[in-house]
A and B are shown apart, each in its own frame.
Chain A
Amino acid sequence: MTLIKKTTKTLVLGVALLGLAIGASSWASARTEAQLATGHLVNKGSGQFELRSSINPMDCQATEPTPCTYQILSPDNIPAQDSYTASELEAFETNGWIEPSNTNGVYQN
């Protein structure tokens, strides 16, 4: 009887621990997902870029000879930031994580 009680207790503790690990892992995944950038990077001029979830090509004003928007191809590799520099964009593009649009200019919105 004592053995059964002890085994059950150990089993319950084990299951609870594994459940806790799954919960912690799910929470960590959700947190990471929220920190990733999805959508587009838009050219705000003077070598500054910003993140947008969706874009309107009509908002591109052809004032710069550089691409107006970039489509994010690999969100896992792009961190969500307030703004991005031209050198960061260059690195993303070299790695194939983003793709430039055909339209050149500065994004107005």
Chain B
Amino acid sequence: MEKHLTTVKSSIKAGTAQVWQWIIRKSRWLFQQRHWVVVYGYAFLYMFTGHNKLVNMQTFVKGNKRIPVLGQYAEFIGWGIPLLEILLAIVLVYPWRKMQRWALWTSTVLMGVFTLYIALMLLFAEKRLCHCGGVIEEMGWHTHLIFNAVWIGLGMWAIKRLKNYTI
């Protein structure tokens, strides 16, 4: 009985060690591929917000109309931004390195435009408007600004890393 118990215990120990080794191996691999995590992160983010804006198109366009200066282009922005976001998300996951790099560039620039909008709203607007889509909309303005700035930084870093890929 005691011998059997010892065998079971050692099997569990060996199994646990194997699982840990697997986790460490995968974590190491993920760390080496972390620029791809950024690429796929952008794809997820843009598909999420793009889809959310398309589903709530009426609200998005209505909200855009209330933005000073940009309000006159509400319909154009309303359709253009979500379609661009979805297109970028698709290209980002398409396995063609050159296109992925181009898409990452555009994604980072677009994130820069969004960040500029938030910064301008924080600095000058009395009544701030954000139709950023889903849970992102529920962030505070300052959190949103930091969130976007982090993504810009990650995007720039990933672009640099992707320079090594030629195909």
Interface residues of A (CB under 8 A from B): 6-7, 10-11, 13-15, 17-18, 20-22, 24-26, 28-29, 32, 76
Contacts and interface: CB of A to CB of B under 8 A. Distances in A.
B134 A18 contact: no
Interface residues of B, number: 22
B73 to A, nearest CB: 21
Interface in B85-100: 89-90, 92-95
Interface in B23-43: 40, 43
Nearest to B135: A28
Interface stretch (B7-15, B45-53, B105-113): B45-53
Interface of B: 40, 43-45, 47-49, 51-52, 55-56, 59, 62, 89-90, 92-95, 133-135
A14 B44 CA distance: 9
A21 B45 CA distance: 7
A14 B48 contact: no
Nearest to B127: A95
Nearest to B94: A14
